Amino acid sequence: PSPLGPTPKLVIDLERLAQLPKEKAGALARYAATIQSQRGDYNGKVLSIRQEDLRSLAVIYDKSPSELTEELISWGVLDAEARRAVESF
């Protein structure tokens, strides 16, 4: 096991996401809205997503998963802990 503890979750900040320009964040916002709808999870300020979903999003954004993670951290949509979630890919 990692000395830093279990792999952290990928937690999207939905309020921050809603503030970002559509050109940047539109695809992610649609993806998150789809997951919320599939789960019936509409009231959250945050949304935990699957590691698999970050892989899919990286394809959509034409980046590697770690590049996309850095971008989402710089936007304030993921926190820095997310780096460790992606290291295990």
Candidates 15, 41, 67, 87; binder of ligand C2E (CB under 6 A) is 41
Can you tell me the distance from the alpha carbon of 9 to that of 86, in angstroms, rounded to the nearest whole number?
A: 10
What are 10's strand-pairing partners?
Answer: 49
Q: Which stretch binds ligand C2E (CB under 6 A): 20-28, 34-42, 58-66, 69-77?
A: 34-42
Of 16-24, 46-54, 64-72, 73-81: span binding ligand C2E (CB under 6 A): 46-54
* DSSP states of 44-82: -SEEEE-HHHHHHHHHHTTS-HHHHHHHHHHHTSS-TTH
Site residues for ligand C2E per CB under 6 A: 9, 11, 35, 38-39, 41, 43-44, 46-51, 53
